[in-house]
Amino acid sequence: MMAGKMPPTETPKFVFTEEHFINRELSWLAFNSRVLDEAARADLPVLERVKFIAITASNLDEFFMVRVGGLQAMREQGKRVKDNAGLTPTQQWEQIQQQAAAFVARQYDILNGQLLPLLREKGIRRLTAAEITTGQRTYLHDYFVENIAPVLSPVALDEDQPRANIPALNIVILCTVQNGENGHTEKRNAILVLPMAPTLPRHIPVPDPEGGEHLYMNVEDVVSLFIGDFFPSEKVTATARFRVSRNTDITLDDEGAFDLASEMEAILEQRQSGNAIRIEIEAGAPRNLVRVIRDLCGSKGPQIYEVPGELDLRGYYAISGLAGFEELKVVPWESQPCTAIQPGESLFDAIKRGDILLQHPYESFDPVLALIEEAADDPDVIAIKQILYRTAKNSRIISALIRAAQAGKHVTVLVELKARFDEARNLERAGDLINAGAQIIYGVAGLKTHAKVCLVMRRESGRLMRYMHFGTGNYNEATAKLYTDISVLTCRAEFGSDASSFFNTVTGRSRFVHFEKISMAPFGLRERLVSLIRSEAERAKQGEAAEIMLKMNALEDREMIEALYDASRAGVKIRLNVRGICCLRPGVKGLSENISVTSIIDRYLEHARIFWFRQGGKNAVFIASADFMNRNLSKRVELLVPVEDKEARKRLTHILETHFKDTSRGRVLRSDGTWVIPSLPSTKVVRSQEVFAKEAAKRAKQNTAADVLVPHTPKA
């Protein structure tokens, strides 16, 4: 070594610590709190606010059954492994209990203090037993005798067998019955489990003698009113209402199962009798009956929630959709037709002109449905391959696939049986497809298949053409009206070759091969994303402009967070639009000063995944089925699809930029983990979802006015 020369030194590797990460569960609770903020907005119509109350209730049910259920199991097993934020299962569980209790209190403050008085003022009233007239009581008793009592079966509780089979999420009425015959008094307890809709409606309409109002009673109120009918010659002396949430985090052994469908049926049965995670008891229940409820469910004190109002607020979904009260709802934004498709035109002809980008629900989901329905009926189509994760109740897509199979086309459908809470429906529809002659594959061993892709093969002029749909959302025409998602319809040859190879990999478990265009998890998708992030970091280090824009539902994966932190430290400008969970801390000095995070909570559920990288001005743009979560990148079959059409890339860039400008429904994440609404003059307020709705309507109007097809940009 020459004198005076020092060896080159490498930049020391940054050490990430617990303080650099936000706990996943607490971040989710913060997300549901942002949803509850919408229910508290005085500037929204009351039925829209009521809808958000129902959404928060549904969200919280699933959170307890899935996430808290898993944590409780870990606690009971004595596991003390810490998460990235340094919390043990017990510490997480304790903080969840505290924050969930505060959340429920706020939920009912909004409902009881704001929404119910507003509903009564507007003519929508839930009646109590004390409010009904003699005539209404007679009507309700007749309804009870004819429609409710025949469905219910009271179950006596034996003292030597205090446990009862109480299904999850049903409202249960516990009552004490007194028998005074033979000169002595005997008491016993019994339960009535109220089946959920559609078996029994949650709300029973009550005639309004004066007219003009929508009057109703909750089914549990009606049952309580006439509960004595179940016990003739006896007296019901006390009642209590409760509801139990059970652990649904039960693992399916899809590698060892001989019959995967039968194994899933067994799992669904287990969920109804799994360990109690949460017990909600309506306020005012007698203390002795509270003890009986705890014994019934085998629950410990911290899991008991005394609810200051009616149970199961999911029922307000039905109230929010009441007919005849349109002035209490938001003015609807109509889904617009795609301007790249002529009325009555074959989807195959439209796609051949160039790639078609659809932004749902501002643009209709009908072209996706039409592609599959046309393929089912087209004699030149020889095969259809599709992934089904969640479908609509009366799915047009499944009907089309059944029709295609019956017509002799080769139909291959991968039905994901592990799509949580849709397992029963998927089992049923898989059976329908099998009966029609379709080839069914029940997912991939050890992985959940979450990719969104359909491949149609058609003979044209002696050669085989492949038409594809790639998307960020499920093949569900119902949720396509409620979720924001992106669809791409294409017939590009390289994408067709990749799609065929993808299906061979997942259905035949063939050896994974490198794709030309798309990337697949868990074989390379994570690596490609990390490579793109690091590429921007290298450009920043060389003094080039470097930028990343990412839109997703959740950001939890540690490797991806660390890659973003490293890119930020290198000088890359990073903007993130994360709807729900975000475990990254933005704005931390020396770590994430170049990262900003926004979350949009509005009329539609933000569900699209769009990834944008500057790449020296070449702007690499992708859509994906995957979020930045460990489960998506390492434990699921997912797809990352580059968008190569110039106009489509331009539109996706605009979507991202507009979200980052949202100052109406956009919240900004601070480094301490709290979310704030930007404070700006009203003249500068931007509401991204409203912008997209107006843009779609304007495109459709211009297209109609021109009365000609707007040519789509040719393939790049």
Q: Known catalytic residues?
A: 450
Peptide bond into 522 cis (omega under 30): yes
Other Cβ atoms within 10 Å of 197 Cβ, number: 13
Q: In the numeric block, which tokens belong to residue 690?
A: 């409203």
Handedness of CA 441, 445, 448, 450 (dihedral sign): negative
Cβ contact 471:451 at 8 Å: no
Residue 573 CA: distances (Å) to CA of 120, 301, 474, 621: 50, 48, 32, 16
**Other Cβ atoms within 10 Å of 225 Cβ, number:** 17
* Alpha carbons 713 and 716: distance in angstroms, whole number: 8
The three state secondary structure string of 177-203 is EEECHHHCCEEEEEEEEECCCCCCCCE
Instruction: Tokens for 709, please give them.
Output: 């097809």
User: How many Å separate Cα 625 from the centre of its chain?
Assistant: 13
Q: What number of other Cβ atoms are within 10 A of residue 618's Cβ?
A: 9
Q: Which residue has the tokens 């949803």?
A: 35
Instruction: Give the ranges where 122-190 is alpha helix by DSSP (H).
Output: 134-143
What contacts 279, CB < 8 A, 6 or more positions away?
Answer: 242, 243, 244, 245, 293, 294, 297, 299, 303, 304, 305
Burial (0-12, 13-18, 19+ Cβ within 10 Å), 4: exposed
Residue 351 Cα distances to 466, 497, 547, 616, angstroms: 11, 17, 32, 30
